[in-house]
Amino acid sequence: MEPRQKGLVAGVVFGTAVWSMTGQILWIAVGTGCGVGVGWWVGRRRDRRTERRTPVRAPVGRADHRREETPEHRESRLRSAAMHNGGRMVEGRQLRGAALERMRGTVPGFPPERYEAELDNALARIDERRVEVLARRAQHVAEARELDMLNAVFALHYFNQRFSGHVGEYGLGRIDLVDALGDLYSREQINEAVTRADALIDDGQRCAYFSDDDGRQIRWLRQNHPGFVEAHLHRAADWGYMLNR
């Protein structure tokens, strides 16, 4: 038992004994306070003695680790830093100057022009990937437009809620539901469907995986959220399985 804990126990015992003799409960508080104080003083003296006996070892700094890095590893770290900070740039979270400064801080030792070139290469790669992401999103919208209003809105709203902020979306943000579906349905209809989609998502997030689950959670979602296709009921539950695993 630590000195502070011993002092606390001793103080409570002392205060209780005095209280039993005097009938004044205040002695318990007084004994507890004195015990904690004595325990703290004893513990502090012990800590100081331990500090004096413990040899001080020189810390192994980050620079020591970097001296052991291979050139290939440093190149890989520089490319990773460029992609990370380039991603922050396209997301609007930092300017170019801040990106270069972060790169120099993460992987120091390269010439200034090398950081510039690596960041430009990263931005070019990000542009290529954003084109791929936009094509995938366009396909997602096209598939949603083939569904009825409720499920079309759910498909796009679910993506927005769960996936649109991921790093792999490269700062493209959410799919605008009115832009995607506004020629088919009114804004009021879309907003009403969003409300129902949110209710399904909220209930789906309460789902959890059970080995003996015979489908009762999906049946509960189906009963309480009529009109959604089976795939969307399972997507809602899947989010809950992930959150509650």
Q: Which domain holds residue 226?
A: 148-243
Average pLDDT over residues 26-44: 53
Rounded to an integer, what distance in angstroms lies between the CA atom of residue 175 and that of residue 62?
A: 43
Average pLDDT over residues 75-99: 94
Among 99, 115, 146, the domain boundary falls at 146
Q: Please state the domain count of the chain.
A: 3
Taking only the tens place, the pLDDT of each residue in 134-187 is 999 999 999 999 999 999 999 999 999 999 988 888 888 999 999 999 999 999
Question: Residues 6 or more apart from 144 whose CB is under 8 A from it?
Answer: 151, 152, 153, 155, 156, 180, 181
Whether residue 239 sits in one domain with residue 191: yes
Let me know if residue 57 belongs to a domain: no
Among 146, 173, 198, the domain boundary falls at 146
Whether residue 157 sits in one domain with residue 142: no
Determine which of 23-27, 77-81, 108-112, 141-145 has the lowest per-residue pLDDT on average: 23-27
pTM for the model stands at 0.65
